[in-house]
Amino acid sequence: MTRFFARLLAAFAVLGAAPAMAQPVDTGHLVAELVARDQSIAPGATTYVALRQKIDKGWHTYWRNSGDSGEATRIAWTLPAGWTAGDIVWPAPTRQPTGPLMNYGYQGEVLLPVPVTAPADAKPGQSVTLKAAATFLVCEEICVPEDAVLTLSLPVVEGLAEPNPAWSGPIAKALSDAPTPAAFTSVFAKQGTTLALAITGQALKGADVSQAYFFPFDSTVIDHAKPQVIERGPDGLTLTLTPGYAFQEGDGPKAMAGVLSLGDKAYEISAATGAPPPGASGLGAPPSKAVGGGGGALGLPLAAAFAFLGGLILNLMPCVFPILAMKAASLAGHAHERRVAQGQGLAFLAGVLATFLALAVALIAVRAGGAAVGWGFQLQSPPVVAGLALLMLAVALNLSGVFEVGSSLQGVGTGLAGKRGMAGAFFTGALAVVVAAPCTAPFMAPALGWALTQSAPAAITVFLALGLGFAAPFALAAFVPGLLTRLPKPGPWMEGFKKLMAFPMYGAAAWLVWVLTIQAGNTALARIFAAAVVLALAAWLLGVAQHRRAQGGKPLALAGIGGALAVVAALAAVWPSYGEPQAASSAAAEGGKANVPYEAYSPEKLAAAQAAGKPVFVNFTAAWCVTCQVNEKVALTSQGVADAFKQTGAVYLKADWTLKDAVIEAELAKHGRAGVPLYLVYGAKGGEGVILPQILTEGLIVRALKDAQGR
């Protein structure tokens, strides 16, 4: 009878003191709470209590080894006498690149399970309070230390515990997905300036190791920001790593432990020093891939070669079309003046290289400060976009003959005109880079992704190689007599040709105004139009003053007034700062031929779609990326693509980078990209996304979606 009443009392305790009574705590950039796998616990039994973190979008917390910076989440328990709490069961982390650093941690929602054991003499019918003081370092572009004191009531009962209906499933999944030791043989050896980590085992035979990555427990054994080169072998794989501080003195550590992540699976490994076994590598075959550090394992020579090829191809990308007009007009004007043409070719080359160098230095400096920026970052600023729109308008007005820059209207003073022509060619090169900045070309994306994770000299070398490739066609054309002689001789046609070439520049100005309205709303439209009218008046006044001067008259104060108005127009466009940005995700796709519904990208939506067993297409785009917009119109809004999305049930997520977004920046860096476009297709069965080419076609997307349906 006594035992019956004890059990009855315990049952009431379960009903009256369920662990769900714990209250979440908002620490500022995350919500934390304690959640239990079971609704109760028996004397002497063990359950799991998890620290749940629901992290704000764009922010992250850290793994047990935070990487190059950061601090791991800590839990200090206060438990009743006899109760014990074990170590955190850490889920496999994800890479969190920040500027030149590589950190390891979590975004979105994460559960950190901890085993909690009741003493054998715990009394059924009682309810105990578990108390945990948790400390977090939560980071976006800045890092904020936060903490929370959390409590959880847990009833003590006899017999088997009832699962917690809300949390038993998620905690069980967190435990099953957590890295566990596997029957692997792991050895490592320092080989010159690299570190070879070889892993072999039955589980790796035939496995997909293309996304393999090693997360060490010790933060000093490797350089986290450097890429990890994967070499596949018949029995496993070898990762080529860059040694860390631990190897700078003596022979280095004798053991190295951590987590081997294969994308959807993760294992704990412990490696000892030794020679890599033959089955861990491809016996001299080239490495299959490199991951980490935001770029591939290209090395400086290959990265520079890729950058040069990318620069060549960049001349063919849609975003550069407006500047081709200026190139063509300049080349045609001096085609039969060999020395002048060569001088302008070299001046154009100098302008391109100088501007690429300036962009590289600015980009490296901003990223070193911890900001999440990439290629084309300057066009994420509405004032910069507004200023460029006015600059394009001014160039167009100049080509239209409203006013002149670089020579008098009658072309007098050959020597002076020649010098000014050189300055004009330099300016054309600089402007070409500014216009091309929103685009990336084949070969260019991996090269820039690699460059932005390396030292400043290596990064600058890659950017200069990109500039050389970009400037090469125009600069070399000036030194090829056979090409120049094929062009028509100078004549009256040149004036009409120059004015015709103004219209692509008007188009570029209009496009930038469109981008500005997406970034800053419709109020920006009135402001930029007013500035454009003032600028046009300034250009006209300058033109009138130049006409009077050319005719021997007095320009009066028209030139000064025009210059002052030009300054007023520029200031009106870029200062004061614009208001709150507008949502840009849907505007970039308006006007397409077919409606393909999409949702704004987030890691949570991607994970939810994968969990539902659906293929996922992720479009990393921006309104200022002309290549992105061409792909939208040509391929992504075609009826065939719309039908393929319906037939496969694929989810379309759009990651719009028109404005700065740290989450999108991190995903781009994860895939070795420094800019957009980037297109990823995830299979219905999960795993990592497949990268599509930067120039899309309807057939390419349809095939990719159908393939994703079966994998």
The structure tokens 């519904």 sit at: 597
Structure tokens at 62: 């850290």
Do the Cβ atoms of 252 and 214 come closer than 8 Å?
A: no
Q: Is 90 left (phi over 0), alpha (psi -120 to 50) or beta?
A: beta
Question: Where residue 417 falls among pLDDT bands split at 50, 70, 90?
Answer: very low
Q: Tell me the C-alpha distance between 283 and 285, whole Å.
A: 6
Is the Cα dihedral 246, 248, 252, 256 positive or negative? Answer: positive
Which CATH architecture is the domain 181-291 placed in? Answer: Sandwich (2.60)
Q: Is the peptide bond before 677 cis (omega within 30 degrees of 0)?
A: yes
Between these two residues, 671 and 537, which has the higher pLDDT value?
Answer: 537
Instruction: Count other C-beta atoms under 10 Å from residue 392's C-beta.
Output: 25
Mean pLDDT of all residues in 5-27: 56
Q: Tell me the C-alpha distance between 375 and 459, whole Å.
A: 13
Q: Tell me the C-alpha distance between 558 and 385, whole Å.
A: 29
Which residues does 127 contact at the CB level (< 8 Å), separation at least 6? 13, 16, 17, 153, 154, 155, 156
Which residues does 346 contact at the CB level (< 8 Å), separation at least 6? 475, 478
DSSP string over 154-197:
EEB-SSSPPB-TTTHHHHHHHHHHS-EE-S-EEEEEEETTEEEE
Helices (H), 334-409: 338-368, 382-399
Please, what is the average pLDDT of the chain?
79
Q: Is 85 left (phi over 0), alpha (psi -120 to 50) or beta?
A: beta
CA distance between the termini of the chain:
60
SS3 612: coil
* CA 534 to each of CA 378, 402, 578: distance values in angstroms, whole numbers, following the listed order: 25, 14, 19
Supply the Cα-derived Rg of the chain in whole angstroms. 31
Amino acid at 395: V
Q: In what order do the strands lie in the sheet with 690-691?
A: 599-600, 651-656, 616-621, 678-682, 690-691
Question: Where residue 4 falls among pLDDT bands split at 50, 70, 90?
Answer: very low
The structure tokens 């590289």 sit at: 360
Hey, do 2-177 and 181-291 end up sharing a CATH topology, with the first three levels equal? Answer: yes
Q: Tell me the C-alpha distance between 51 and 48, whole Å.
A: 10
Amino acid at 12: F
The pLDDT tens digits of the residues spanning 122-134 come to 999 999 999 999 9
8-17, 61-70, 106-115, 303-312: which range is least confident on average?
8-17
226-240, 280-294, 454-468, 521-535: which range is least confident on average?
280-294
Domain ranges of the chain: 2-177, 181-291, 299-574, 587-709
Structure tokens at 700: 């390419």
Amino acid at 92: A
Predicted pLDDT at 106: 96
Q: If we measure between CA atoms, which residue out of 371, 453, 363 comes closest to residue 142?
A: 371
The pLDDT tens digits of the residues spanning 154-210 come to 999 988 888 999 999 999 999 989 998 888 889 999 887 889 999 988 878 777 787
Q: Tell me the C-alpha distance between 522 and 586, whole Å.
A: 15
Q: Tell me the C-alpha distance between 611 and 685, whole Å.
A: 9
Tell me the whole-structure pTM to 2 decimals. 0.44
Which residues does 546 contact at the CB level (< 8 Å), separation at least 6? 403, 404, 408, 409, 555, 559
The pLDDT tens digits of the residues spanning 538-556 come to 888 888 887 777 776 665 5
The pLDDT tens digits of the residues spanning 567-584 come to 776 676 666 555 544 444
The structure tokens 């979606």 sit at: 705
Do the Cβ atoms of 567 and 542 come closer than 8 Å?
A: no
The pLDDT tens digits of the residues spanning 491-505 come to 666 677 778 877 877
Mean pLDDT of all residues in 635-645: 89
Would you identify the CATH topology of the domain 587-709? Glutaredoxin (3.40.30)
Do the Cβ atoms of 678 and 439 come closer than 8 Å?
A: no
Would you identify the CATH topology of the domain 2-177? Immunoglobulin-like (2.60.40)
The pLDDT tens digits of the residues spanning 314-335 come to 777 666 666 665 666 566 555 5
The structure tokens 């520079």 sit at: 304
Mean pLDDT of all residues in 623-638: 81
The pLDDT tens digits of the residues spanning 216-265 come to 999 999 999 888 888 877 778 889 899 988 887 667 888 999 999 998 88
pLDDT at 99 over 90: no
